[in-house]
């Protein structure tokens, strides 16, 4: 386990906190979803309540090392002021005169937000000198940005070389729920994997076959499994160079006595748009000129019945094109089944988190990860640089 803010004395200390304030905005720079800001608040409040001088930093968008007004953290500073009910000073640079001046004589309980960390090209290169300058602003480093922990950047890993480094509550929660789901699951343990491609999920399928009782496959990746068995998949997404791999994964599941479930029927469409003509066919009978966009009703029934037996459910990747209402039925059914389940329900970020939000059931699940790519790499068993650099308990 990694040390958290509770394992270190923060009173009177300047604490640099890496947050994930990469929030969506409209064309007028109004924040349209404050979830990421809200999820950082418990850590920030704890530090303030315990007499720390809090220096926050984050990226927003992809400014690629250039100062771009539309990526300024000014709207975030405003939102933080509303939530915390105290002033939040925004610096006009990252490690320059403004940052040094505003952080120099801070008092306990004050908050300074550094301007977008990616306005400096050295951030993503994990430049040593930049990390050193960043670290020189503070005495303690806290990482609470799980969503960027799979990146070895200056503000996610580099600074930990120069300051005592611990995790915030958000990262602690991620490691607890994702870690327990993998290492100490209550059984039966069922994983639902969706998304477009098998190639995106090879490592996670491989890793989960070692751990789960049932593996449910949906989304575009399912059609590669059907093609591998010699069935026609029409114009559906299919990775012809991954057919042997699909067969090997099926073989491995069988050898390990893992129930691998593939769709039995699929909702197909003529073309990729929300109003396309559609119908439901057996997965083994997809006609040419048609494309699979969702799991069918029979499959929904089979999958939801199986999920009702679970004590732990891990879900990563939608099982259809949930952005289009007529092909969101399967994904919504999985979301609602998880929402009414007594099992420990863990969702691995990204598109899945968006689908759950769209279905309106996010608050009914045990844990929805804040990191897409980071959650994926963690579930694959990879080491995350932003976590590895933190002190062990």
Catalytic site includes residue 36: yes
Angle, vertex CA 364, rays to CA 359 and CA 367, nearest 5: 100
Active site residue 386: no
Inter-residue contact 345 to 315 (CB < 8 Å): yes
Give CA–CA dist 125/248, Å, rounded: 38
Q: Where are the alpha helices (DSSP H) in the chain?
A: 35-49, 74-84, 97-104, 128-135, 169-183, 198-209, 222-228, 243-255, 297-307, 329-339, 350-359, 372-379, 385-388
Told to judge if 350 belongs to the known catalytic residues of this protein, a careful annotator would answer yes
The edge-to-edge listing of strands for the beta sheet with 278-282 is 278-282, 265-269, 291-295
The one catalytic residue among 259, 373, 381, 382: 373
Burial of 104 (0-12, 13-18, 19+ CB in 10 A): exposed
Contact 198, 227 (CB under 8 A): no
Q: How far is CA 207 from CA 126, 176, 353, 368, in A?
A: 29, 18, 21, 20
Distance CA 386, CA 393 (A): 16
Contact 37, 144 (CB under 8 A): no
Catalytic residue among 125, 197, 259, 358: 197
Catalytic residue selected from 13, 14, 36, 151 = 36
CA distance 78 to 89: 9
CA dist list (Å): 297 to 44, 306, 329, 331, 355:
46, 14, 9, 12, 19
Judged by DSSP in three states, 63 sits in coil
DSSP 286: P
Q: Which residues contact 102 (CB under 8 A, 6 or more apart)?
A: 89, 91, 112
- Gap between the Cα atoms of 341 and 310, Å rounded: 8
Q: How many residues make up the chain in this entry? A: 393
Q: Cα 52 vs. chain centroid, distance in angstroms?
A: 29
Of the residues 194, 269, 350, 371, only one is catalytic, namely: 350
- The residues assigned a catalytic role are 36, 197, 350, 373
């Amino acid at each position: 386990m990694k040390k958290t803010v509770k394992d270190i004395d923060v009173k009177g200390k300047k604490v640099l906190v890496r947050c994930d304030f990469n929030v969506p905005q409209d064309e007028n720079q109004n924040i349209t979803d404050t979830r990421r800001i809200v999820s950082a608040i418990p850590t920030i409040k704890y530090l303030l309540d315990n007499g720390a001088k809090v220096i926050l930093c984050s990226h927003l968008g992809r400014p690629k090392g250039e100062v771009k007004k539309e990526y300024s953290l000014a709207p975030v500073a405003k939102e933080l002021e509303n939530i915390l009910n105290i002033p939040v000073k925004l610096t006009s640079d990252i490690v320059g005169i403004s940052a040094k001046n505003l952080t120099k004589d801070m008092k306990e309980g004050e908050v300074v937000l550094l301007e977008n960390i990616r306005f400096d090209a050295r951030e993503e290169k994990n430049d040593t000198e930049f990390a050193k300058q960043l670290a020189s602003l503070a005495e303690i480093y806290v990482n609470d940005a799980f969503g960027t922990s799979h990146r070895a950047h200056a503000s996610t890993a580099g600074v930990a070389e120069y300051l005592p480094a611990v995790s915030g509550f958000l990262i602690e929660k991620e490691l607890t729920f994702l870690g327990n789901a993998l290492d100490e699951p209550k059984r039966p343990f069922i994983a639902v994997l969706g998304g477009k491609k098998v190639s995106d999920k090879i490592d996670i399928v491989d890793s989960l076959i070692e751990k789960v009782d049932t593996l449910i496959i949906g989304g575009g990746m399912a059609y590669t499994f059907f093609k591998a068995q010699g069935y026609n998949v029409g114009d559906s997404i299919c990775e012809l160079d991954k057919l042997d791999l699909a067969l090997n994964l099926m073989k491995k599941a069988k050898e390990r006595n893992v129930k691998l479930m593939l769709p039995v029927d699929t909702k197909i469409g003529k073309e990729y748009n929300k109003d396309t003509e559609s119908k439901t066919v057996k997965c083994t009978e997809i006609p040419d000129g048609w494309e699979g966009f969702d799991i069918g009703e029979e499959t929904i029934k089979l999958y939801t019945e199986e999920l009702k037996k679970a004590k732990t459910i891990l879900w990563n990747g939608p099982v259809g094109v949930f952005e289009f209402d007529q092909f969101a039925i399967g994904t919504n059914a999985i979301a609602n089944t998880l929402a009414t389940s007594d099992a420990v329900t863990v969702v691995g970020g990204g598109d899945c988190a968006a689908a759950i939000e769209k279905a309106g059931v996010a608050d009914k699940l045990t844990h929805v990860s804040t990191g897409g790519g980071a959650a994926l790499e963690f579930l694959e068993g990879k080491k995350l640089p932003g976590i590895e650099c933190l002190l062990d308990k």
